[in-house]
Amino acid sequence: MASILLKNVVKSFGSFVGVQDMNLDVVDEEFLVLLGPSGCGKTTTMRMIAGLEHPTEGEIRIGDALMNDIDARDRDVAMVFQGYALYPNMSIYENIRFPLRMRQVPKAKHDDLIRRAAEMVELGPFLDRKPGALSGGQRQRAALARAIVRQPQVFLMDEPLSNLDAKLRASMRVQIKHMQRELKVTTVYVTHDQIEAMTLADRIVIMNKGVIQQIGTPDDIYSNPANTFVAGFIGSPPMNLIAGTAQNGTFSSAGIRVPCPANLSGNITLGIRPEDCQIGGDNLQGQVYGVEPTGDITYLTVRTANKNIEIKAGREFRAPIDSAIAVGFDTSRLYFFGEDGYRVGVN
Amino acid sequence: MASVRKSGGDNLLVRYIILVSWAMVCLVPILWFLTIGFRPRTEIIVPEPIYWPTWSLDAWRLLVSDWPIALYLRNSILAVAGSVVIDLVLAIPAAFALARYEFKGREDIGFYILSTRMMAPAIVAVPIFFLFKNIGLLDSVWALMLIYAAINLSLVTWIIRSYMLDIPKELEDAARTDGAGDLTILWEIMIPACLPGIITAAVIAAIFAINEFLFTLLIASTSKAYTMSVALANFTGGSDGVIYNAIALVSFIAFAPILILVILIQKHLSRGLTMGAVKG
Ligand SMILES: Nc1ncnc2c1ncn2[C@@H]1O[C@H](COP(=O)(O)OP(=O)(O)O)[C@@H](O)[C@H]1O
Ligand SMILES: [Mg+2]
C-alpha cells in the first residue's frame, strides 16, 4: 500500500513524444483511472509506473522511494495486462502461483493464498485448467487472481475489461471495485471507456495526445469540464459543443440564442449537455433529424444550419422527421469555452 | 468446411481419391525400395517384371555378418544427437537475445549469423580439415558432432528467433512484474511457449546432420568414424559385385530414424515449418 508520484515525467520514442511533462499524485488506497482515446499515452504511463518502460525525463516515486533505476521485478507492483498475458503452458493454479514463487513466498503458504485469491474472483473450479481452456471472462479473472495473490503495493490494470462483452464487463466492473475496496491497494486503471472510468474511479485523469487535460472526481469532471476535449469526451451522448459568437451578454449561432456572461466576446464555443435541454422554449430553433426511443429515454437529434444537437427527451416524446421544433436550455447549466478550447466566463 | 460437408459424400470421396493417389505417389517408391531389401539377389535385376517376389532375409544376414552397421548407426546417432544438443544449448539463448534485447547492430548480427549458412561448404573444407588435424580430432565422432553443430547453428538460431518474435511481449512483461529475471523468463516462459519451434529446428538440424556428407568424408578417414551417410556411399555389398538388395536395405535403415522422428512430431513440424517460413 503506497502512494505514487510522477513528477515532470516525459517519455519520447525517438522524436515522437508519447507522454508530455506529466505530473500526477496518486494517493494511498486510491482508485485512479487514466482515461483517454486510443494512443494518448495511457499504456505508456502505466508501463513507466511498472518499470517496463523508462521515462526519458522526470521522477517516478512509489511510497517515498525513487523508482527510476529500479527494475520492474524489484518494484512491488502487480499488473493486469490488456491481453491477460497468462502463461499458456501453466495451469491456472501455476499461473497464480508464479508471482509467489518469484517473490520467495514460503512454499507452505502458497496453496492457501492461491485458493483465497481464486475464491475472490470465483475461479475455484477452474484451477486445474490451462488458460486455453477458459472463456474470456474466466481468463480475465485468472489474470486478476494472479495480480491480487501477493498483496502488492500497487495494482496496475491496462484495459482489463476491453475484450469482454458488455454484460460481463458490467459485472466485472462491480467485482473489481469491490475487490479494490476490500484489499485497499492503490490502483491505477487504464481505460478508453468513460462509463468504466466514471463508475470505478475515485479520481479520473483525462489524457489526450500525451498531455493531461484534467484531473478530478467523476462528478467534478462531469460538471466542470476544463476544456472542450473533456466536455466532448465525457457523457453519453457527450456535451453538445456549438461554435458561435458572443456579444453584449448574448451568445448566438445559427438557430441558437442564449444569454452569456457580459464579459465574453468574439468566437466562443457553447457547451450544453443533452439532459439540460427540454422540448419547448426559445433557445434553439431547428428541425427534427432523428428520434430514437430506448425505453426509459428518447434521444432526439435536432438539426440546425451548423450542427446536429443531441437532446435527451422524455420517454413519451415522439415527433415526425423534419418537423420544426423549439428547444429550451437550462441556462444555469451552460458552459462557454474560448478559442483555445479552455473554459471561460466562470465566476 | 460446413459448406463442403453439406454438399455431400461425393465431394468427400473425390477428396479422398485425390489424397490417396498423392500419398501413393509419395510412398510407393519408398515401399518398393524396402521390398528390394527383402528380396533375394537373383530377383533384383531380371529382364521380366516379377509381380510376386519371394521374400528373403539374405541381405539382412549379409549386413549383420559382414558390415559393422551397428557401429555406423551408433556414430550417426551420437554425432547427430550431440550436435543437435549443442545447437540448442547455444541457439536458444542467442535467439532470445536477438529476439528481445535491444543492442547496437542487432539486426546486422542476426543477418550475419544467417549468412554463414549461405557460404558454399567447399570453401572451408580445407581449413576445417587442418583445424581438426591440429587439434587431433581427425577420424573421431566428436569432431563430426562439432562440425554438424557448427553447420546448423545459424539455421537453428534463426528458426527459434523467428518463433520467439511471435511470442507476445506482454507475456514477458507479466513475468517481469511478477518478479522473474531473464533466465527464469527464458526457462519458464519462452522455452515452453516456443517449444514447437525448438522441436522443428531440432528436427531440421537432425535431418541436415544425418545427411551431411562432405565434411564427414573429410574427417572420417577410416570406418571408425563412418556415419551412415558415408558408409552408405562406400558400400557396394562386399567383394562380389554390387549387391543392390543390401544397398536398399542400408538406405532404408539410414532413412528410418528420420522417418520415425518426423512421424512422432509431425503436428508440431507442419506448424513450425510454415511459421518459420513466413517470418523473416
Ligand atoms: N515502443 C514504442 N515505440 C514507438 N512508439 C510507441 C511505443 N510505445 C508506444 N508508442 C506510441 O506512443 C503513443 C501512446 O501509446 P500508448 O501509451 O500505448 O497509448 P494508449 O495506451 O493510450 O492507447 C502511441 O502513439 C504509440 O504509437
Ligand atoms: Mg493502451
Q: Where are the domains of chain A?
A: 4-229, 238-344
Q: Are residues B8 and B133 in the same domain?
A: no
| pLDDT of the residue at A1 | 63
| pLDDT of the residue at B3 | 44
Between B272 and A108, residue with greater pLDDT: A108
Among A83, A98, A102, select the one facing B170 at the smallest CB separation.
A83
A106 burial via Cβ count (<10 Å: 0-12, 13-18, 19+): exposed
| pLDDT of the residue at B251 | 83
**Domain A4-229 identical in fold to domain A238-344:** no
Q: Are residues B103 and B196 in the same domain?
A: yes
| pLDDT of the residue at B147 | 93
| pLDDT of the residue at B1 | 41
Residues of chain A found within 8 Å of residue B193, distances taken between Cβ atoms: 87-89
Q: B40 lies in which domain range? A: 2-58
Terminal-to-terminal C-alpha distance of chain A: 39
ipTM: 0.84
Looking at the domain assignment, is residue B33 inside a domain?
yes
Q: What confidence category does residue A246 fall into, taking pLDDT thresholds of 50, 70 and 90?
A: very high
Q: Are residues B12 and B92 in the same domain?
A: no
Share of chain A above pLDDT 70, in %: 99
Which residue in this structure is represented by grid cell 556411399?
Answer: B233
Looking at the domain assignment, is residue B274 inside a domain?
no
User: Which CATH number, 3.30.70.1050, 3.20.20.70, 3.40.50.1000, 3.40.50.300, labels domain A4-229?
Assistant: 3.40.50.300
- Grid cell in block for residue B63: 549386413
Q: Note every long-range contact of B217-220, with CB atoms under 8 Å and residues 24 or more positions apart, other chains counting.
A: B218/B125, B218/B128, B218/B129, B219/B128, B219/B129, B219/B132, B219/B137, B219/B138, B219/B139, B219/B140, B219/B143, B219/B144, B219/B147, B220/B75, B220/B139, B220/B144
Which of B10, B26, B58 is the endpoint of a domain?
B58
Is CATH 2.60.120.260 what the domain over A238-344 is classified as, yes or no? Answer: no
Q: Are residues B141 and B174 in the same domain?
A: yes
**Yes or no, beta carbons of A81 and B189 under 8 Å apart:** no
CA of A45, nearest ligand number: 1
Min Cα separation A189/chain B (Å):
16
Q: Does B166 touch chain A (CB under 8 A)?
A: no
The Cα A234–Cα A204 span in angstroms is 11
Selected residues 192-251 of chain B with any CB under 8 Å from a CB in chain A: 192-193, 195
Name, in order, each residue with C-beta under 8 angstroms of A197's C-beta and a sequence gap of 6 or more: A33, A35, A191, A204, A218
| Helix/strand/coil for A44 | helix
In order, the DSSP letters of B87-120 are HHHHHHHHHHHHHH---TTHHHHHHHHHHGGGS-
Average pLDDT over residues A89-95: 93
Which residue in this structure is represented by grid cell 510522477?
Answer: A6
Q: Are residues B128 and B256 in the same domain?
A: yes
Average pLDDT over residues A317-321: 91
| pLDDT of the residue at B104 | 83
Q: How far is the CA of B240 from the centre of ligand 1 (A)?
A: 76
Q: Which residue of A lies nearest to B183 if distances are taken between CA atoms?
A: A102
| pLDDT of the residue at A150 | 86
Q: Find out whether B208 and B152 touch, Cβ atoms under 8 Å.
A: yes
pTM of the model: 0.82
Q: Are residues B68 and B54 in the same domain?
A: no
Q: Structural domain tally of chain B? A: 2
Q: Are residues B38 and B71 in the same domain?
A: no
Q: Which residue of A lies nearest to B174 if distances are taken between CA atoms?
A: A85
**Yes or no, beta carbons of A78 and B171 under 8 Å apart:** no
The Cα B216–Cα B144 span in angstroms is 6
Q: How far is the CA of A145 from the centre of ligand 2 (A)?
A: 21
Looking at the domain assignment, is residue B277 inside a domain?
no
Looking at the domain assignment, is residue B70 inside a domain?
yes
Q: Find out whether B226 and B232 touch, Cβ atoms under 8 Å.
A: no
| pLDDT of the residue at B9 | 62
Q: Which atom of ligand 1 is nearest to the CA of A45?
A: 17
pLDDT per residue over A19-59, tens digit each? 999 999 999 999 999 999 999 999 999 999 999 999 999 99
Q: Are residues B158 and B39 in the same domain?
A: no
Q: Which residues of A touch B (CB under 8 A)?
A: 47, 50-52, 71-75, 77-79, 81-83, 85-89, 98-99, 102-103, 146, 156
Q: How far is the CA of A31 from the centre of ligand 2 (A)?
A: 18
Looking at the domain assignment, is residue B279 inside a domain?
no
Q: Note every long-range contact of B65-72, with CB atoms under 8 Å and residues 24 or more positions apart, other chains counting.
A: B66/B238, B67/B231, B67/B235, B67/B238, B67/B246, B67/B250, B68/B223, B69/B250, B69/B253, B71/B223, B71/B224, B71/B226, B72/B223, B72/B226, B72/B227, B72/B228, B72/B231
Q: Are residues B49 and B67 in the same domain?
A: no
Q: Which of A76, A200, A88 is nearest to A143 (CA)?
A: A88
Q: Does B181 touch chain A (CB under 8 A)?
A: yes
| pLDDT of the residue at A188 | 97
Q: Find out whether A327 and A281 touch, Cβ atoms under 8 Å.
A: yes
Average pLDDT over residues A127-150: 91
Residues of chain A found within 8 Å of residue B180, distances taken between Cβ atoms: 73, 98, 102
Q: Are residues B72 and B178 in the same domain?
A: yes
Q: Are residues B71 and B7 in the same domain?
A: no
| pLDDT of the residue at A269 | 95
Beta bridge partners of B57: none
Residues of chain B found within 8 Å of residue A83, distances taken between Cβ atoms: 168, 170
CATH assignment at residue B138 = 1.10.3720.10
Looking at the domain assignment, is residue B71 inside a domain?
yes
**Residues of chain B scoring pLDDT < 70:** 1-9, 237-240, 269-280
Cis peptide before A237 (omega within 30 of 0): yes
Q: Find out whether A180 and A108 touch, Cβ atoms under 8 Å.
A: no
Which of B42, B58, B74 is the endpoint of a domain?
B58
Please give the interface size between A and B, counted as residue pairs whose CB atoms are below 8 Å apart: 66
Q: Are residues B34 and B160 in the same domain?
A: no
Beta bridge partners of A77: A154
